[in-house]
Amino acid sequence: MAKKKLSDSLVKELAEEVKEWGSMKQTGVSLKHMMNFGGSSKNLLISAQFVHKELPIRIARRVIELENLPYGLSSKNAVLQVRDWYLDSFRDLRSYPEIKDKNDDLKFTQMVKMIKVRHNNVVPMMALGVKQLKKERPQFDYKDLKEVHQFLDRFYLSRIGIRMLIGQHVALHDPNPLPNCVGYIHTKMSPLEVVRDASEDARSICLREYGSAPEVNIYGDPNLTFPYVPSHLHMMVFELVKNSARAVQERFMDSDDDAPPIRIIVAGGLEDVTIKISDEGGGIPRSGLPKIFTYLYSTAENPLDEDFTTTGAATACTMAGYGYGIPISRLYARYFGGDLQILSMEGYGTDAFLHLLRLGDSQEPLP
């Protein structure tokens, strides 16, 4: 495991190459653009060539940023491990020859699949790095670490884009795609169906933890469909319903009254599809609302401990386990031009509004 800065531990040529590629212009794509790359071998080849050129630029930018974090965060072992994962992926991509035909594309597709797996545990590993920083500087309030918050927003937003490009390219090679699916994108996704599945998954977590879970009542047009990435929507709704279920359960755990249901409304407008998730879990104090979108405030346990290993990281649980769900859900919403807003009435409950851009023509935000 690397313990040194990039400039100290690697040959000058590689450091220069990272710097060169990190200064190149990124190319954003829209949902609509991604949907046009399905089907033909020619399109798959164009997709591979684009990913081959674009990924090193995005990854090099993250390597440079990981090297220059404030408050000594760059020197934390967990952050150095993440830097090395990104650096290994940069090397793999840059050493891969030009993609000229179907065989090149198939081999390249296998390689980027491995890159995606390599980066599976970037989020908990970065969370561990932040935890190491907080342990060193317990006097820091979340407001004092604005630069770290801004970096993490950029870093995780970029990660969503990298994983979307790889995942979409790999999924386009599926010989038996689901009906109405182009790679990761479902061209006629029913938000009601995804909300129902995600809510049931969140209730299962609540049942496992508390022995019971509030009911979830879902309202909306079952015929409403629009193009979106179902896995993204599932993750966002799962996080929001899980938080609501936990709040309701804890508020009514020792009460003689039945726990009130969580209410979800799915509404389709001309511009947005909006999902409103309402609970009666007691709400959040007004002073606490800004904190729910931060990465340094959570009291949840990180699945990786101080004595982490790369092997241990491979079996770690997902972000649901360490309090990054809400800020990362907002980034997922914003990735395709939407947003997440949370309003609270302390002493009563919380309303979350998840806005999803229906048109699909918003370009990726490129940090």
**Using one digit for the tens of pLDDT, what is the confidence trace for 238-249?**
999 999 999 999
Least confident of 1-5, 35-39, 60-64, 293-297: 1-5
Identify the pLDDT of residue 319.
Answer: 35
Dig out the tokens for 275 from the structure. 């999902």
**179 has a pLDDT exceeding 50:** yes
DSSP run (H or E) holding 228: strand 226-228
Percentage of the chain exceeding pLDDT 70: 87
What is the Cα–Cα distance from 236 to 239, expressed in whole angstroms?
5
Q: How much is the average pLDDT of 269-285?
A: 95
Least confident of 15-24, 27-36, 199-208: 27-36
Closest CA to 272 of 350, 342, 363, 354: 354
Between 120 and 4, where is the model more confident? 120
Cβ(134)–Cβ(140) under 8 Å? Answer: yes
Between 150 and 197, where is the model more confident? 197
Identify the pLDDT of residue 3.
Answer: 52
Identify the pLDDT of residue 316.
Answer: 40
Cβ(345)–Cβ(278) under 8 Å? Answer: no
**Burial class (CB within 10 angstroms; exposed 0-12, middle 13-18, buried 19+) of 148:** buried
Q: What type of residue sits at position 31? A: L
Confidence of residue 318 (pLDDT cuts 50, 70, 90): very low
Between 214 and 38, where is the model more confident? 214
Confidence of residue 324 (pLDDT cuts 50, 70, 90): confident
**347 has a pLDDT exceeding 80:** yes
Identify the pLDDT of residue 12.
Answer: 79
Dig out the tokens for 229 from the structure. 């990435």
- pLDDT tens digits for 65-100? 999 998 889 999 999 999 999 999 999 999 999 999
Q: What is the pTM of this model?
A: 0.88
Dig out the tokens for 13 from the structure. 């040529």
